[in-house]
Structure 1
């Protein structure tokens, strides 16, 4: 970091990615700040800068300050880290130690030593605090250390899953002619192997993924499993709503062996809402009126499937949000992009799967293709061909939004 960049950081003050500290701070305190930055989006610890932004400089030689920091990062943070260290000299001969915490650190959650305990710290604005259990779970999930979808759902059992839908999946989709009797041990073992149930001290309980895919009354047990769909009369939230619906149910449809549809699933119900509440487009071609959909079906389908399959289900109390305006359509999915995936990499074709069981089953049904590059191969070129627009991809704190222009 050069002198100009450092002065700009100091001038802008502390924020969610910048923390000022004297270098005589207690090791436990500095470790908690560094761990919180690693658990957030990375950032900088500036040693030798007061809380108000005044530069006081390092109080010990730079080499000793570096050794102290590296020892602290090994002994007071789990897993141990080796942060980047450099010094920058400012006016008056003051040396500032710059500690860089990388974005997308791979081994979240990072814990700092607090007495005899190890505590997960997170950064909220300029404040560092203890993570809640749910926040800690999300950090594990971001690093691939926890598959939230495999968690048992309390209050459920094998009967909480719709056996009709599961048998339809096995017979019609996978082509398995013989399936075990529903009350048998073989049936429970089959569901266990499919990761639809898990075995606990309380018996076989449905997993989160099992309830999402095939659950009966899944809204009761996994309240964040639906879609909140709203259609507005104008271009912003201040306009009256034309339709407002809470769409719920199992993700997957129920079919018969002859291919007829008996019950729709959450994906198809969401697509139906969009079709009902978007006006068809029309243009003249050689003097003839040609009618078409407001948005390409394959683009809409890809985005709805992505939102439901890849959302962060550990974030409770919020559904996927579908908003239809007179000039655009927005799909907002709870959770940021997983570790190492940026918007640029997503558009370029990088693949990821936060909920692998959901992806596997959706691929069996044909909702997800084997390449996993729908944004690059379907959504972006589909909108360009449809009306010449480019979708907006917006990553914000705890949510990811895709916006299509009409």
Structure 2
């Protein structure tokens, strides 16, 4: 069941995914509620100056934030949660802290294992605890400390930039922030910390490499374009996304006097597939990296590691489970992940909006494959023209629109282009067309008022 927006939670009744706390409770009491939610299906805790659902203004929001974060760290293992959000509900300032669903660990507080049932935290029976450990049997690779790791391996500028992005109070102490995010243990970087902020990711984790390949046809061929990226994960995502967007076929067509743009694949769906592969792959598998292959009719995104936990191909859209919660949380802080577990839904919606079939998902012997459908552009967009070459030549939008107009209408005049761009001066329109003539794309016919242009 989806949670209501954060701003509405203070007015909801307590239940399996919502609890209330007050800002004078002990660290252990709040930790028990956080752990109980994490051991169930996630949820949220509303913290105010009152007791239960009787809300009152917080006495000290900063102190309450530190209390919540200290409670999360006191769990075993430490619980990674987003920073609490200050929400004003009916003029009453309260804190709302989210506990992600689908975490891979079982959490204890002072040796006690609790689970949220109804509106209360209940001890787990031995049988239920055994089942939960079986369901979440993950070795926690991202929390492990590799041999010889030290703070010197972290890129200070990346850490400071991340702390500035998160902002106060977390940004006031970058090392404390990394500890809360599971990137440091006793001031020593974990695998997650080095993957996200390391100076030399390739030396520590060659398996973190992304290989991107573009073939011009529907099958592999001897001629292709390729790049390999091995960098801190946020930078790797940004570089891979730029490469994919640059190599994706793009085009336009004229609908009346308006230009309609299209792309080989919906960029948003491509981004979701890329980010999901980086965030959720099994980094303990050292044999291979992520492979993203672009064909003329499809995009294949392969990531090492089969589906984690209790997730199967059948329940993929409904269930939430994160193999790498620390990595996911940092990527979320940086705006690269929106909500844990909802990327597939967004991907499918974007494909549908573009008139494409849904993506397909397949487990292989040692990994997971996502295939985004597409079509060769001439077939996918009736009347469409691939404008990629024009864009690489540096033509501006007006010039591309002019060429599309000629493709459709066989000719264009200064007046035609002026009507398409009424806010642009006549001299600029003249220069645009003259430049297309000089480039050998258009041929000028006639003189003065009788002048028109055709494709050369």
Quickly name the TM-score band, shorter chain normalised.
Answer: 0.5 to 0.7
- Measure how far apart 1:283 and its partner are: 4.2
**Structure 1 371/322 Cα, relative in aligned 2: closer, same or farther at 3 Å?**
closer
- Tell whether the 8 Å contact from 2:165 to 2:334 is kept in structure 1 after alignment: no
Contact kept? 1:219, 1:248, Cα under 8 Å: yes
Structure 1 residue matching 2:288: 3-state secondary structure: coil
- The Cα RMSD (Å) is 2.6
Alignment partners' CA distance in 1, 2:197 and 2:371: 29
Corresponding residue of 2:268: 298
Aligned to 1:70: none
Tell which structure's C-alpha radius of gyration is larger: 2
- What is the match of residue 5 of structure 1? none
Indicate the residue corresponding to 1:395 in structure 2: 363
Q: Deviations over 1:278-334 (max 9, x none)?
A: 110434534754222222222111111100000000110211101011111111011
Q: 1:356 aligned to 2:325?
A: yes
Distance in 2 (CA, whole Å) between partners of 1:354 and 1:142 is: 12
Show the counterpart of 1:195: 182
1:271: Cα distance to partner?
Answer: 0.3
Q: 1:226 aligns with which of 209, 226, 244?
A: 209
2:163 to 158, 170, 193: 170
Q: Indicate conservation of the 8 Å contact 1:167/1:179, yes or no.
A: no
Q: Distance in 2 between matches of 1:372 and 1:145?
A: 18
Structure 1, unaligned runs of 5 or more: 1-105, 108-139, 181-186, 253-264
Q: Does the aligned pair in 2 maintain the 1:142–1:338 contact within 8 Å? A: no
The within-5 A match list for 1:303-318 is 303-318=273-288
Higher strand share: 1
When residues 289 and 393 of structure 1 are mapped into structure 2, their CA distance, relative to the original with a 3 A threshold, is same
Distance change >3 Å, CA 175–CA 294, structure 1 → 2: farther
Q: Does 1:147 align with 2:140?
A: yes
Q: Which residue of 1 aligns with 2:341?
A: 372
Residue number in structure 2 paired with 1:244: 226
Structure 2: state its 5+ residue gaps: 1-103, 106-132, 375-456
Q: TM-score with structure 2 length normalisation?
A: 0.50
1:387 alignment partner, SS class: coil
Q: 1:206 aligns with which of 179, 189, 195?
A: 189
**Number of residue pairs aligned between Structure 1 and Structure 2:** 244
- Structure 2 counterpart of 1:91: none
Q: Which runs of 4+ in 1 moved over 6 A?
A: none
Do 1:234 and 1:240's aligned partners in 2 also have CA atoms closer than 8 Å?
Answer: no
**1:339 paired residue among 309, 312, 318:** 309
TM-score when normalising by structure 1: 0.55
Can you list the C-alpha shifts for 1:63-102, whole angstroms capped at 9, x where unaligned? Answer: xxxxxxxxxxxxxxxxxxxxxxxxxxxxxxxxxxxxxxxx
Measured at CA, do residues 363 and 156 of structure 1 come closer, stay the same or move farther in structure 2, by a change above 3 Å?
same
